[in-house]
Structure 1
C-alpha cells in the first residue's frame, strides 16, 4: 500500500515540477520583455525565482518518492 502511495506522490510531484517549469519560463520571458512596465517585469522576475524554487523542490520530492516506491 505504501508503494502505491509513493508512486502516486511521485506522479503528482512530476506534474508539479513540469507546471512550475512552464510558469518559470513564461515569467522569465515577461521579465525580459522590454515592452512591459518595470513593475510588471520586477513581479515576473520575482515569480520566476519562486517558480524555479518550486520546480526544484518538486523534483527533489519526486526523487524521494521514486526511490521509496522502488525499494
Structure 2
C-alpha cells in the first residue's frame, strides 16, 4: 500500500514540477518582452525566480517518492 502511495505522490510532484517549469518559462518571456511595461517585467522576473524554486522543490520531492516506491 505504501508503494502505491509513493507512486501517486511521485506522479503528483512530477506534474507540479512540470507546471512550475511552464510557468517559469512563460514568466521569463514576459520579463524579456520590451513591449511590456517595466513593472510587469519586474513582476514576471520575480515570479520566474519563485517558479524556479517551486520547480526544484517538486522535482526533489518526486525523486524521493520515486526512490521510496522502488523499495
Q: Measure, in 1, the Cα distance between the counterparts of 2:68 and 2:18.
A: 21
TM-score normalised to structure 2 length:
0.99
Output the CA distance in 2 between the equivalents of 1:46 and 1:6: 32
What count of residue pairs does the alignment treat as equivalent?
A: 71
How do 1:1-71 and structure 2 match up within 5 A? 1-71=1-71
Using structure 1 for the length normalisation, give the TM-score: 0.99
Structure 1 runs (4+) greater than 3 angstroms displaced = none
CA shift, 1:36, in A, is 0.4
Aligned CA-pair RMSD: 0.3
